[in-house]
Structure 1
Amino acid sequence: MILYLLLNVVIAVIGIVAVLYLLFRLFAWHQGDARFVIEARRRDPFTLKMMSQDKAVFETEVPFKNAGKQLGTIMDFFPRTLLPQEQYDKVVVRSQLANKAAERDDGYWESVIINPGETGRIRVTIELVSKSGNIREDLKTFPDMAIDLIYQAVSRSEWYLHKARITLKAAEVKRALEQA
């Protein structure tokens, strides 16, 4: 009889703990989390910022926002250009990314806390350096170049890496060369 009563108490305690855990998870789900959105489709067109005999520098701005319910931190943010030598090998590509709200010229992304609903802008700079010494000639056959914008974020959940993709289009490069 005592064993049966003890077993009922243990089962009741386990049941209460399970219900409390489910209530906590429901509360945490309702509280939400940060959700960063890189609005790659709303980026500004790439513009030619500087051009010399052997180098061309293009820039664009990409909006982002915290569409979640909680604040979050973007701890690291960097661009990765995707231009394989098998596809096009006439230029050396260098890329840099900066937070427009906290401009730095050393290529370092300073961690930033972003409140729910807050927006910002990222400046992406692409430097194309000619291998032959004549950038105008080399860029005549420049293809579309994908650029991954990779960021590390943390909020109520564990940190994670995410990426968005923008493209430096051949048509944008051609138009910039015609206007320069």
Structure 2
Amino acid sequence: MIVYQLLNIIIFIVGLIAVLYLLFRLFAWHQGDARFVIEARRRQPFALKSLTAGTAVFETEVPFKNIGKQLGTIMDFYPRTLLPYEQYDKVIVHSQLANKAAERNDGYWESVIINPGESGRIRVTIELVSKEGTIREDLKTFPDMPIDLVYQVVSRSEWYIHKARITLKASEVKRAMEQA
């Protein structure tokens, strides 16, 4: 009889712990998390910022927003250009990314905490350096170049890495070079 009562108490305690855990998980789910969106489709067109005989520098701004319910931290943010030399090998590509709210010129992304509903802008700079020394000639056949914007987020859940993609279009390069 005592064993039966002890077993009922143990089952009751385990059941109570399970119910409390489920209530906690429901509460945490309701609280939400940070959720960042890089609005790549709303980016500004790439603009030619400087041009020399051997170098062309293009820039654009891309908006981003925290659409989640909690604040989050963007720990790291960097561009990754995708231009294999098998596709196009006339230029060397250098890329840099900066937070418009905290401009730096050293290519370092300083961690930033973004509140729910808050937005910002990033500046993406692409420098194309001619291998032959004649950037105008080299860019006549420049193809579309995808650029991955890779970022690391820390919030209530475990950290994660995500990316968005923008493209430096051949038409943008051609139009900028004709106007320069």
Task: Using structure 2 for the length normalisation, give the TM-score.
Answer: 0.99
| In 1: Cα distance, 2:146 partner to 2:35 partner | 24
* Counterpart position of 1:62: 62
| In 1: Cα distance, 2:127 partner to 2:25 partner | 48
| In 1: Cα distance, 2:169 partner to 2:4 partner | 74
Q: How many residues align?
A: 180
Matched residue SS, 1:96:
strand
Alpha-carbon distance, 1:167 to partner:
0.2
Alpha-carbon distance, 1:110 to partner:
0.4
| In 2: Cα distance, 1:111 partner to 1:56 partner | 29
Paired amino acid for 1:61? E
* Counterpart position of 1:42: 42
| In 1: Cα distance, 2:12 partner to 2:41 partner | 54
1:51 aligns with 2:51: yes
The RMSD of aligned alpha carbons is 0.4
* Residue pairs, 1:138-177, within 5 angstroms: 138-177=138-177
* Counterpart position of 2:3: 3
| In 2: Cα distance, 1:170 partner to 1:113 partner | 35
Unaligned runs of 5+ in 1: none
* Counterpart position of 2:105: 105
Moved over 3 A (4+): none
Alpha-carbon distance, 1:4 to partner:
1.1
Matched residue SS, 2:116:
coil
* Counterpart position of 2:86: 86
Alpha-carbon distance, 1:86 to partner:
0.4
| In 2: Cα distance, 1:6 partner to 1:79 partner | 62
Matched residue SS, 2:34:
coil
Q: Deviations over 1:68-111 (max 9, x none)?
A: 00000001000000000100000000000000000001010000
| In 2: Cα distance, 1:149 partner to 1:171 partner | 21
Alpha-carbon distance, 1:163 to partner:
0.3
Paired amino acid for 1:97? L
Identity %, equivalent residues: 82
Paired amino acid for 1:26? L
Matched residue SS, 1:7:
helix
Matched residue SS, 2:81:
strand
Paired amino acid for 2:174? K
